[in-house]
Structure 1
Amino acid sequence: MDDLRAYKSRITRKVRPGLLSVCSLVDNLLVDRSTYKPAPPDTQSFPSETVTKWQRLWKLRSRPTAAGDSSVTEEKPKTKWYAYIWDTFDKSPEERRFLTKLDAGLLTTACLGYFIKYLDQSNLFNAFVSGMRHDLAMNGNQLNYTITTWTVGYLIGEIPSGLLLARVRPSIWLPTLQIAWSVLTMLLARVRNVNQLYALRFLIGLTEAGFYPGVFYMMGSWYKKDELAKRVSIFAVASSIASMFSGYLMSSLYIMDGVISLPIAFASYFLLPDFPFNTRVFYLNENDKRLAIERTADRPKRQPYTKAKLLKIAKGWHVYLLPLLFLFSGAAAAGTAQPIFQLFLQSSTHPKYSIRQVNNYPTLANGFSIITTLAYAWISDGFLNGRRWPVLLWAIIVNFITFTSLAIWNIPLGWKWACYIISGQVVTISPLSMAWGNEIVNDDEEERALVVAAMNDSAYIVGIWLILIIWDTTDAPRYQKGFITASVFSVFAAVLTFLVRYLHQRDLRRKQSEAAEVTEVNEISSNQEKKSDDAGQV
């Protein structure tokens, strides 16, 4: 019997540490660190060396972390049910008033600016199917060439604009861009040939490039993690509303676009709040500015773009994987660069749709994107406690099913209509992945500015040539290459979602351990000093 007990004891000492390692690995992969705080392990039945290992692990994981990473281990107060409706309901009266003012100034101005920007892009598609093709004698792939010239301008302007935003006030730079693209958009009404169209679309892309990433960068500087996704999604909804609005207004589109744009652009000079540390807007008083700085006190300070800084960014994974995630999960391969629904309706002979119907029915997809954008944001911020990856993964799976069905093509007409409508939710992925990227790179202002711009740029870098290969206008409405590519990209996006989450959690654990070790060293040093003082007194 003693031999049996000794044998069991040896097996226990060899096996249990391995099981603990496996359990720890599974725990690290599956548990969300932003909401989980481990309980102390029951160590009574483990060998002494295993007990020590468990105690040290639990001690490191339970310690407070460095500033800026407190969300990893701090136990949050229980969220009240009405905070899931709107996050300000669960905040102090002072913070609630501040956020209301900020939303009225920043969020409203950003939404109006994005509305007019996307109205211009949607007007091009509606104008093409409503007579511009014949007026300018466009043929073959000239619609794609028009889109490509806009994309080239956008690519040239995006990264420089993103870098400038770390140095120039957004309240100066972004409204100036808005005025420029408003005037250029109005000039589109005077276009007489396709070459003039190419030139103006290039300049419009150049001036529109800085707005979208600039607003994301500014929002990421003001809002906390539990506030960001809702605002970003409301901002993104403006694009779907603009597409719907464009579908119902088909006379003097570009003149109307410019007339709407100019007042909004001039108002933006006074309404955009810049950043918490240098804001000068009239609607925030001194208490509001103080509160804004307190809310972002754990954010890093601005630093110059040195060679060491750029090398540090280049050696990390953020600047590579986050743009790839944005690219594969977003609209680059999903047909939003083409009026796929409009061209499907236009090609139909049984039944035959009127021009008004061709422009109006696709607004169903825009309406669906509005619903899903808001729903995904509320679920992510609320029930999922700020986790982005589950919602992203769900949307990616929906994309895969939708575009795989369209790639098959010979499917029931009702399901085909449903796929075209559901495909509108592809635009909801971009704001969520952008919000996630903002949160992941929140400990370095310069890297955040660069990564946000690179994420937005990635879609256009690929789109500039991919659209000519897989979304050939002459393939409409079948677009077999395009739908197959969109399905394959969805698979890549799912893999990248898991990879980004794993790497982010690994980095958080590393920072937590480093902070805990520093704290432990400080405690030992403090205890030694205390013992020395006590010895001196004796």
Structure 2
Amino acid sequence: MNRFAEIIDWYPVEMSQEERHLVFKIDWLVLSFSCIAFFTKNLDVSALTNAYVAGMDVDLDLTGNRFNYATSMYYVGYCLFQIPSNIVLTRLPAEYYLPAAEVMWGLFTLGTAFVTSYKQLMVMRFFVGLTATACWVGNAHIVNSWYTRQELGKRNAIYGCVYPLGAMFAGYLQSAAYDNLDGSHGMAGWRWLFIICTVITIPCALIGVFFCPNVPDRTRSRYLTAREKELCVSRLLKDGFAKTRGVDRSLVKRIFGNWRIYVFFVVGNLFWMTPYPAGTPYTLWLKSKTQYGVAMVENLSTITYAAQIVSIMLCGFYSDWRKNRWETMLYGGILILVCNVLLLVWNVSDGAKFFSFIGLGVANGPTNLIVPWLAEVMSHDLEARSASIAIVNVGWVVINLVVPLVAWPTASAPEYKGGYIWSVIMSVIELILLPLPMYFLAREKKQGIDYAKEIFDETNMDAAGIEEKTEGVDEVASETYYSKEKKNADVDVVEV
């Protein structure tokens, strides 16, 4: 198993057995709840599109652009609490805050099953968005606070795969609900989908209470020893990741006082925006094909998500191996442009359309690297990094709030002429702007600015203190982990 982990670079060859054991623990603690929470969030969010295809549009009279408005209402709620939520997360215990939010959006998802009018749907979607705010940005902050640069791509790939998995599973659930539960107890199949989503969501929140470890220098996890908690902090310090600096008036300057937030806000959102047709436009194109029934549309709509999962994993591992994020994103940007041009032309075969929609699903893999790239360049400031991830994501939320109404109105489906013109223009711009982060990083290097070195120099005494403090227990702790003969060794370890 260790050999396989080395081959795929899950653990670097030079990593000690003690650190491997620690990273193994971190993977289970950090990724377990983060992935499950993100899965249930996307299961609940994706349910709306699947419900619309399965009859909600008729039952709630979602004529014209009402479906777009209902989708956008979710993003209104999602946008309002985005930045405050991640700032609050740096102060409150994540193991309670994040699960509480999950319970709340689960209850509002349940409420969606019983709406009887368009207005009620709008209210429910707003509160689902508001309470789901903490999930993606909060868990993205947690995930990107535990790993070194050589580990970030792969772990973000696993976390990123949860989005298409949730969307795929929602499609399969709706197909099953439509076939088996439609009309049961007098309720339509699309209503049963929201009930099933809630039954899955709320119990999953309990996992966070027991397993979510917060961030390294604030963790109270019962599953990490005192030695392991110290090692979590020291290994990140050595890789240039700073400990918490606190939230005060200087935070605004720390966020907006350099180029990072501006460049990643623009570049990141361009890359997140342009594969949009792989979602709702693809589903509505399938719906327009009279040869496909409801169940077939639900199943075929998951193909782009399956392609995205494979792409995310390959891109995450490849970018860690190459030790850069830009190269993989360049490949993705070229694919995005080609696929959007084909869809803009539109007068192509159905095979070419399938290629384009699925290709945009594949192109979503490289876009998953935005967050680990941002985490790396903001490694010098934990609070600023957390807020920056939220700010960049706010751009994505606003785009999903406004752009579908303007460029992708339901009334213009399935051809979406204006939408594809928009996507092609943005695809060109994203390729032009992709070199900006490398340019500014190179300029800082030329100016002698090295945040990673500064962090290590400033905290070297602390790191040395940790090593000195634990020097006497290193050998015994290692033997405790790996030696059955010495499993009863008298080691003074404090459990928290």
Which TM-score band (shorter chain)? 0.7 to 0.9
Counterpart in the other structure of 2:390: 453
Query: How far apart, in 2, do the equivalents of 1:367 and 1:180 lie?
Result: 29
The change in CA–CA distance for 1:197 and 1:246 in structure 2 (over 3 A counts) is: same
Tell me, yes or no, if structure 1 residue 370 matches structure 2 residue 309: yes
Residue 316 (structure 1) shift: 1.3
The answer to whether the aligner puts 1:490 opposite 2:431 as a matched pair is no
Residue from 383, 392, 396 that aligns with 2:329: 392
C-alpha offsets along residues 356-396 of structure 1, whole Å, 9 cap, x if unaligned?
111001211111101111011111111x1x20000011111
Aligned 8 A contact 1:327 1:458 in 2: yes
Cα separation, 2, equivalents of 1:370 and 1:406:
22
Counterpart CA distance in 2 for 1:277 and 1:140 is: 51
Pairing partner for 2:229 from 289, 294, 314: 289
Of the three residues 94, 99, 123, the one matched with 1:175 is 99
| Aligned amino acid, residue 60 of structure 2 | L
2:329 and 2:367 in contact (8 A); partners too? no
Q: Which moved more, 1:246-255 or 1:393-402?
A: 246-255
User: Aligned pair count?
Assistant: 433
- The CA deviation at 1:149 is 0.6
Q: Distance in 2 between matches of 1:82 and 1:104?
A: 15
SS at match of 2:84: helix
Partner SS, residue 368 of structure 2:
helix
Among 464, 474, 495, which residue is 2:401 paired with?
464
- Superposed, which structure 2 residues align to 1:172-251 within 5 Å? 172-250=96-174, 251=177
Number of the residue aligned with 1:334: 275
After TM superposition, the structure 1 = structure 2 runs for residues 256-275 of structure 1, keeping only pairs within 5 Å, are: 256-275=196-215
Give the whole-Å Cα distance in 2 for the aligned partners of 1:353 and 1:177. 38
- State the partner residue of 1:63: none
414 and 300 in structure 1: CA distance in 2 versus 1, 3 angstrom threshold: same
> Aligned pair 1:153/2:102, yes or no?
no
Whether the 8 Å CA contact 2:34–2:143 is kept in 1: the answer is: no
Per-residue CA deviation, residues 471-506 of structure 1 (Å, 9 max, x unaligned), is: 010110101111221121122222221011111222
**What is the Cα deviation at residue 426 of structure 1?**
3.9
Cα separation, 1, equivalents of 2:23 and 2:247: 32
How do 1:398-409 and structure 2 match up within 5 A? 398-409=335-346
Pairs within 5 Å for 1:104-119: 104-119=28-43
Contact 1:334–1:483 at 8 Å: present in 2 too?
Answer: no
Which runs of structure 1 show a deviation greater than 6 angstroms over 4 or more consecutive aligned residues? 513-517
Question: What's the secondary structure of 1:210's corresponding residue?
Answer: helix
CA contact (8 A) 1:178 1:262 kept: yes
The answer as to 2:235 corresponding to 1:311 is no
Deviation at 1:333, TM superposition (A): 4.2
**Do the aligned partners of 2:305 and 2:361 also contact (CA within 8 Å) in 1?**
yes
Could you say what secondary structure the match of 1:296 adopts? helix
AA matched with 2:275:
A
Structure 2's unaligned 5+ residue stretches are 178-191, 455-496
Q: In 1, Cα distance between the equivalents of 2:157 and 2:388?
A: 19
CA offsets, 1:284-339, max 9 Å, x none? 22232121121122432333444444234323111211111111011x34325952
Question: How far, CA to CA, are the matches of 1:438 and 1:485 in structure 2?
Answer: 29
Alpha carbons of 1:271 and 1:516: their partners in 2 closer, same or farther (altered >3 Å)?
closer
Q: Counterpart of 1:85?
A: 8
Task: For residue 412 of structure 1, report the CA deviation from its aligned partner.
Answer: 2.2
Closer/same/farther in 2, CA of residues 363 and 308 from structure 1, 3 Å limit: closer
SS at match of 1:249: helix
1:261 positional shift: 0.9
Code of the aligned partner of 1:131: G
Contact 2:311 2:363 in 1 (8 A): no
The residue correspondences of 1:20-59 to structure 2 (distance < 5 A) are: none
- State the Cα distance separating 1:509 from its structure 2 match: 3.6
Q: 1:515 to 1:214 in 2, by over 3 A?
A: closer
> C-alpha offsets along residues 453-479 of structure 1, whole Å, 9 cap, x if unaligned?
111111112222211110010110101
1:95 aligns with 2:32: no
Question: 1: distance between equivalents of 2:23 and 2:374?
Answer: 22
Q: Counterpart in 2 of 1:357? A: 296
2:286–2:292 Cα contact (<8 Å) kept? yes
Determine helix, strand or coil for the equivalent of 2:116: coil
Looking at structure 2, the residues matched to 457 and 126 of structure 1 have their Cα atoms a distance apart, in angstroms, of 25
- Is the aligned partner of 1:255 residue 2:195? yes
Specify which of 321, 337, 352 is matched with residue 263 of structure 2: 321
Contact 1:335 1:471 in 2 (8 A): no
For residue 428 of structure 1, what is the aligned residue in structure 2? 365
Q: State the percentage of identical aligned residues.
A: 30
Pair 1:348 & 2:289 matched: yes
Q: Is the 8 A contact 1:404 1:483 kept in 2?
A: yes
Change (3 A) 1:212 1:513: closer
Q: How far did residue 402 of structure 1 move? A: 0.6
Q: Residue 295 and residue 312 in structure 1: after superposition, are their counterparts in 2 closer, same or farther (change >3 A)?
A: closer
**Residues 86 and 259 of structure 1: is their aligned pair in 2 closer, same or farther, counting only changes over 3 Å?**
farther
In structure 2, do the counterparts of structure 1 residues 301 and 514 end up closer, same or farther at CA, with 3 Å as the change threshold?
Answer: closer
CA contact (8 A) 1:126 1:246 kept: yes
Equivalent-residue separation in structure 1 for 2:205 and 2:453 (angstroms) = 49
SS of the equivalent of 2:390 reads helix
In terms of mean alpha carbon deviation, does 431-440 or 80-89 score higher?
A: 80-89
- 1:183-219 alpha-carbon deviations (Å, 9 max, x no partner): 1111111111111110010001001112111112112
**Which has the higher mean CA deviation after the structures are superposed, 183-192 or 293-302?**
293-302
Question: Given residue 406 of structure 1, which amino acid in structure 2 is its aligned partner?
Answer: L
CA–CA distance in 2 between the matches of 1:450 and 1:514?
A: 18
Amino acid at match of 1:354: G
CA separation of 1:152/1:88 partners in 2, compared to 1, >3 Å: closer, same or farther? same
Offset of 1:282 from its aligned partner? 2.1
The one-letter code matched in structure 1 to 2:143 is M
Query: In structure 2, do the counterparts of structure 1 residues 121 and 336 end up closer, same or farther at CA, with 3 Å as the change threshold?
Result: farther
Decide whether aligned partners of structure 1 residues 484 and 289 sit closer, same or farther in structure 2, where only a CA change above 3 A counts: same
- Paired amino acid for 1:434: V
Q: Distance in 1 between matches of 2:162 and 2:131?
A: 19
Distance change >3 Å, CA 269–CA 346, structure 1 → 2? same
Give the corresponding residue for 1:438.
375
